[in-house]
Amino acid sequence: MSNQVNFVYDIEDDPLDELKHWLFLENVRIKQEKQSLIEEKEKLEKEKKEFEKQKISLSGSVNIQEKQLIRKKELFDKQWKIVEKELRRIAIDKDNLEKEKRAFEQEKERFRQSAKQATIQGKTNIQNTSIFFAGVNSFAALKRRYRDLIKIFHPDNENGDQNILLAINKEFETLKNKYNVYR
């Protein structure tokens, strides 16, 4: 990079001229180095500014991603709590359903026993058929209970009984007329 200037005259004649010439050349080299350093400094300053811009941009992006991650985690936690709550509720409902099923099976067994005893004794003594429809308080519930009872006590079933079915049908007709009034 250094451009040295060669002079035509003879420098050896005067040591002072030689020193001046050397100083001149050194001054030119120093100015060139200084200019090169200034350009390098400007280049580094420019790169530094670009780096700072990227740093700010990336830090903003990271902050946004961190906030999104926090929101997603909070949402997941809320959803998880809902799932846990619903699973607990389902477990409770399952337990209640099992209790009702056992009670229904016991009730069904009692009816079978009483029907068998009545058949053995030669009687069809079914006075209280309202027990078949106990707890029914709407027409839709009445229809559901009737269908369930028909499935259980139909004569074509293994445990079916025609006399019980006739009593169920009679009670169903009575209650159906009662609920049709309210419809």
pTM exceeds 0.85, yes or no? no
Could you tell me if residue 171 is inside a domain?
yes
Could you tell me if residue 137 is inside a domain?
yes
Predicted local confidence at residue 127, as pLDDT: 54
Of the candidates 150, 143, 148, 149, the one whose C-alpha atom is nearest the C-alpha of residue 183 is 143
Tokens of residue 79, six digits: 């959803």
Tokens of residue 39, six digits: 């350009």
Could you tell me if residue 133 is inside a domain?
yes
Could you tell me if residue 175 is inside a domain?
yes
- At position 102, the amino acid (one-letter code) is R
Total of domains in the chain: 1
Summarised one tens digit per residue, pLDDT across range 74-132 is 999 999 999 999 999 999 999 999 988 888 888 888 877 876 776 665 444 455 557 88
**What distances in angstroms separate CA 49 from CA 35, 41, 44, 54, 70, one per listed residue?**
21, 12, 9, 9, 31
- At position 104, the amino acid (one-letter code) is F
Q: How many CB atoms lie within 10 A of CB 89?
A: 10
Could you tell me if residue 79 is inside a domain?
no
Residue percentage of the chain with pLDDT more than 70: 84
Residue 165 lies in domain: 126-183
Location of structure tokens 């409770």: 92
Location of structure tokens 């079915």: 165
Could you tell me if residue 165 is inside a domain?
yes
Q: Under the phi-then-psi rule, with left for phi > 0, alpha for psi from -120 to 50, and beta for the rest, what region is 3?
A: beta
